[in-house]
Amino acid sequence: MAQVHAETGEIMRSYSDLAIHTEVGAIIQHHSENQEDIRLVVRDAIPWDHDIKKILDLGCGYGWFEEVMPGGLDLVGGIDCLEENETPFLAAARPKAREVFFFRMMLPAPTGLSAGRFDLIVSLYSLYFFPAFLPEVSRLLKPGGLFLCLTHSASMLEEGQHYFDFKNLRKVIERFSAENGCDILRPFFKEIQYIDYPNSLVFHEGDERSLAMYIDFKREFIEKDVDPGIVREKMIAELGRKGKLKFNKNDRIFLAYT
């Protein structure tokens, strides 16, 4: 477990700069074939009319999802391992709920929160860092509560495999992926549904800066396998040679009910 925590901590450093994280988010949105904002797909999949008023966001970051949440909530809490995210998360959550909180914590770990406290728990692009937290997720949800998690396909960025062996990146994603998510969730939840979000990232000649920045943002993921500088130079060279690069970015939204 200590090894997993150490690896997760190293990867999470890439999320600590809010300005860079925001810019890379804009790059992903701009270069996505699927132009529907994934946050809105997630938001609209939630049955808000089922009296969802108390929400916990695992790996909440700077409040990426809170920015699009509806208002009028009773409670929005966030858990994240980066203290840099506390201020922006609370700023995003306060307009949406009467009560907000932020815990700085490396999951999985005991939260100290009471059982059955939440109507909805979300984990967006983060559960592959702490799948062992699922028993606690189930405990924290009220009966009939909803756990919504968004994750990548195990074949994410598979086109890069033609050039490099990203076996350690694969290991991270395969802790909880679109392909194995149902099997991992099933022991803890009574009903599981999912929504697929098909997508690819496409870069054209002239997009070298955006491609380089995207690769640099993922450096903590890939440096266990390959020097990120080598990856960046190779991919930019391939973009110049081919005029276009396309990368798998398929995601899946799981809705699991207690």
Q: Classify each residue of 53-67 as buried b or exposed e, where b means 16 or more C-beta atoms within 10 Å of its C-beta.
A: ebbbbbbbbbbbbbe
Residue 122, φ and ψ in degrees, nearest 5: -120, 150
Q: Look at 30-39, 94-103, 160-169, 217-226 and tell me which has the smallest mean pLDDT.
A: 160-169
Predicted pLDDT at 10: 46
Q: Is residue 14's pLDDT more than 60?
A: no
Give the CA distances from residue 144 to residues 43, 82, 239, 257, in Å, rounded to whole numbers and listed in that order.
Answer: 18, 31, 49, 6
According to the model, what pLDDT value does residue 53 have? Answer: 98
3-state secondary structure 80-106: ECCHHHHHHHHHHHHHHEEEEEEEECC
Please give the Cα distance from 186 to 131 (Å, whole number): 12
**How confident is the model over 79-138, as pLDDT tens digits?**
999 999 999 999 999 999 999 999 999 999 999 999 999 999 999 999 999 999 999 999
% residues pLDDT > 70 (the chain): 93
pLDDT of residue 177: 97
CA separation for the pair 232, 210 (Å, rounded): 11
Q: Domains along the chain?
A: 2-257 (3.40.50.150)
SS3 173: helix
| pLDDT-derived band at 16, boundaries 50, 70, 90 | low
CB 174 within 8 A of CB 180: yes
Q: Is the pLDDT of residue 12 over 50?
A: no
Structural element, H or E, at residue 58? strand 54-58
**CB of 119 closer than 8 Å to CB of 54:** yes
Q: Which two tokens stand for residue 117?
A: 């406290």
pLDDT given at position 200: 95
